[in-house]
Structure 1
């Protein structure tokens, strides 16, 4: 019964270029490889810090980005301290 029905899947093979052709190989070879997130001007330092459980719990409870918020809180503290 299915032999009489035409396929509902479109045939895109005729429209696809031959990527093994020399002109495409040259384009792929010349293209820069960019993986991942762009590098930041000031890269962050990975460290280990011990914090009280209630501090970590409060920051985590606010959702994603809790480590960035801790970083911002520490930066704010340093800025206030520098003004004093």
Structure 2
């Protein structure tokens, strides 16, 4: 199910930082950062066979091509879950 944002992104993009009301957002203090935890997804090395032109296209996009392939696979997975 796709949700449509009710945010007027075009109007927001035209606003300066000073015009955006952030008064309802609490300031992140030292205590927040002391308790914060970095969570990095577990990666698993695999061997996968891809068409040569597909792999070359991804590599041609620059560094991080494996990350981009992973992101696309994740989007596909999420789109097809329950």
- Scaled by the length of structure 1, the TM-score of the pair is 0.48
Q: Highest CA radius of gyration, 1 or 2?
A: 1
